[in-house]
Amino acid sequence: MPLTFLAHQAPVLPLKRWRPELDGTAMVVGTIVPDMARAVPPRFALIWDGRPIWWDGHAWGQALTGGLVVGLLLTWSARRLVLPRLAGYLPDLGQFHLRDLRLLGRTRHPWWIVVLCLAIGSITHLLIDLVTHTDRGVVLPGLAVHLFDIAGRDVKVATVLQVLASVGLSVFTVWEMYDIGRRRLISRWSGVEVPVPALTPSNRFAVRAVVVVAAGFSGLVGLTRVSITPAVGLMTSVVVGWVALCVIAAFVRPASDA
């Protein structure tokens, strides 16, 4: 895997800039959900008619069925609950203008655009994984070639590609986030022509403190599963953390200008 965050988001940000009518939130969520399936303990796998539809997020059939259902839930909770209510509490980070994320809830897309964009995000994820893995159904020629050993671990062409892709794509994503922030594109895409500075929200200290406690708790829950694999631990933290953010957001009023 190139890293779930921020490497996998690299292909969809330029797509959103090229076609602003696409649903950027859904595309970003789509790039995350294939890896999220790692957090699913077997007893919570979605089964349909005796077959798993949400258990292995990297199986194409599951990514484009159960993955879409999970993706719809995530997109809805991000756009209607978490971002409009909590993004105003983020540090704005200068030119990144992270607080503009609170405006994403203003956007409405037809349902089929949301589904299409989730699928686009997931397909880019699976394609990137395909060219950097040797444990998938299709292994591209040359990927499994052994290069050298580090501390007894076999380093293949694919391993080097994964590291290069993780670093290169993550750097590109950060640069895209910077450029989108600098140009205030989220404001424009959300129908706010003249971007205004986000108001400093009330109860800032209390809300941030609760979020930090929730993040610590999610991290601890993830740690209990790191022994399976580090990726399972990370994705468990992400899922627990997201549920916690939804609960916190339910108790916070949306920013007055969201």
Query: Which lies closer to Zn ion via its Cβ, residue 34 or residue 71?
Result: 34
Q: Is 117 helix (H, G, I), strand (E, B) or coil?
A: helix
Q: What is the 3-state secondary structure (H, E, C) of 166-196?
A: HHHHHHHHHHHHHHHHHCCHHHHHCCCCCCC
Q: Please report where in the chains the tokens 């109860």 appear, as a residue.
A: 203
Query: Which lies closer to Zn ion via its Cβ, residue 125 or residue 184?
Result: 125
Measured at the CA of 84, the angle between CA 176 and CA 254, to 5 degrees, comes to: 155
Query: Which lies closer to Zn ion via its Cβ, residue 4 or residue 218?
Result: 4
Residue 235 CB burial class (10 angstroms; 0-12, 13-18, ≥19): buried
Helix, strand, coil percentages in the chain from 3-state DSSP, rounded to 5: 60, 5, 35
Please give the single-letter amino acid code of residue 67: G
Query: Which lies closer to Zn ion via its Cβ, residue 81 or residue 118?
Result: 118
CB of 159 to Zn ion, least distance (A): 15
- What count of other Cβ atoms lies within 10 Å of the Cβ of residue 11? 20
Is 1 an interacting residue with respect to Zn ion (CB under 5 A)?
yes
Site track 46-85 with Zn ion (rule: CB under 5 A), x = hit: ----------------------------------------
H-helix or E-strand containing 219?
Answer: helix 204-223
Stretches 66-74, 122-130, 214-222, 250-258: which one binds Zn ion (CB under 5 A)?
122-130
Site track 168-197 with Zn ion (rule: CB under 5 A), x = hit: ------------------------------
CB of 129 to Zn ion, least distance (A): 4
How many binding residues for Zn ion (CB under 5 A)? Answer: 4
Query: Which lies closer to Zn ion via its Cβ, residue 94 or residue 168?
Result: 168
Listed in sequence order, the residues at least 6 apart from 218 whose beta carbon sits closer than 8 Å to its beta carbon are: 237, 238, 240, 241, 244
CB of 186 to Zn ion, least distance (A): 26
Is 104 an interacting residue with respect to Zn ion (CB under 5 A)?
no
Q: Please report where in the chains the tokens 């890293």 appear, as a residue.
A: 3
Q: Please report where in the chains the tokens 């258990």 appear, as a residue.
A: 55
Site track 129-148 with Zn ion (rule: CB under 5 A), x = hit: x-------------------
Query: Which lies closer to Zn ion via its Cβ, residue 99 or residue 125?
Result: 125
Stretches 105-113, 124-132, 173-181, 233-241: which one binds Zn ion (CB under 5 A)?
124-132
- Measured CA to CA, the distance from residue 19 to residue 223 in angstroms comes to 40
Site for Zn ion in 10-49 (CB under 5 A): 34-35
* Binding footprint of Zn ion on the chain (CB under 5 A): 1, 34-35, 129
